[in-house]
Amino acid sequence: MGGSKLRPGSKLEKTPTGRASQKGFSAQYPKLNLGNPRQFSQAVRNVQAVHDVTPPEIQKSGELWYPKVHEAVAKGMRRTGLSARQGAGLVAAVSPQMDWQGRNIPALKHLTNMRTADWDVIHRSARKSRRSREAKALLKDTPLAHASDKGLVRAHRIIEGEDPEDVMPRRTAPKTHSFFHNIAYPSEHTHVTIDYRAHDVAANRLYPAAFTGRGLSSAATKSGKPTRYEHMEDVYRQAAEGRDIEHPHTMQAITWEGAKHLETAVPTKAGTPRVKGVARKGQPYVR
């Protein structure tokens, strides 16, 4: 590694532990200055550009995404003793690093069927730097295998009766907080779920998923000064308004689906369809 910076399009540097290093990322992937009106407006146009190239059937899927998930969660919570609101909190709690469509709704049944002894295993594992063998064995071949221990502990707190608002506070967990709100209350305008893909759509650059410099970890701070997360929410609000879309999280869902389509639409070198998206090297979604 030395002191060299990463070149655009190069692979991530690796530390001795094999984990991706963040060294040089700030130069390779500079942040949008969303406090700058010109850059903010460009981010709005970037979101709208992805919206405009999204095929109509995928736009429709994104438009219905949160209402359909709301209904699915409400159905999944029947006969569990938990409310649809709690169910939305459970989905949000285990959402990071999860393939949502493939795992999260089935995950609800597994979460609500776990025993006290199972939760003890998860809590012990969460206190370690890596998932314990015991927890790996417990979660193997289940929809929860890819959920983090931290997320599972959050889910358990909700099952035990804590309010999702307290378990995933907007100040320190704005993404999961917003995801909870968008699923629980899909007809409200108040929150927008900004994850790595939503950020990259606004930046019009496919940053590596391992990049930690997107700056989306806080909102509603004591200072009252808008954070990057809140600026991103405003980007989607303006982008939605400019396309006559009622809810900003609907624009987020449409462009999230549209961006995923763009990432997987490029055939492999062998000409076969992609299962995973293209390598994220800072390339634009829309030129």
Q: What is the pLDDT of residue 99?
A: 60
Residue 53 main-chain phi, psi, to 5 deg:
-95, 0
Neighbours of 113 (CB within 10 A): 9
184 HSE (CA, 13 A, CB side): 22
pTM above 0.85, yes or no: yes
Neighbours of 63 (CB within 10 A): 18
Q: Looking at 142-215, which runs of residues are DSSP E strands? A: none
Which parts of the chain sit beneath pLDDT 50?
Answer: 1-19
In the chain, where the domains are located: 32-265
Q: What is the pLDDT of residue 22?
A: 56
Which of left, alpha, beta for 18 (phi over 0: left; psi -120 to 50: alpha)? left
User: In sequence order, what are the residues at sequence separation of 6 or more whose Cβ sits closer than 8 angstroms to the Cβ of residue 96?
Assistant: 147, 148, 151, 175, 176
Q: What is d(CA 27, CA 241) in angstroms, rounded to the nearest whole number?
A: 33
Q: What is d(CA 122, CA 49) in angstroms, rounded to the nearest whole number?
A: 43
Q: What is the pLDDT of residue 271?
A: 80
Q: What is the pLDDT of residue 180?
A: 97
Cα first-last separation, the chain: 32
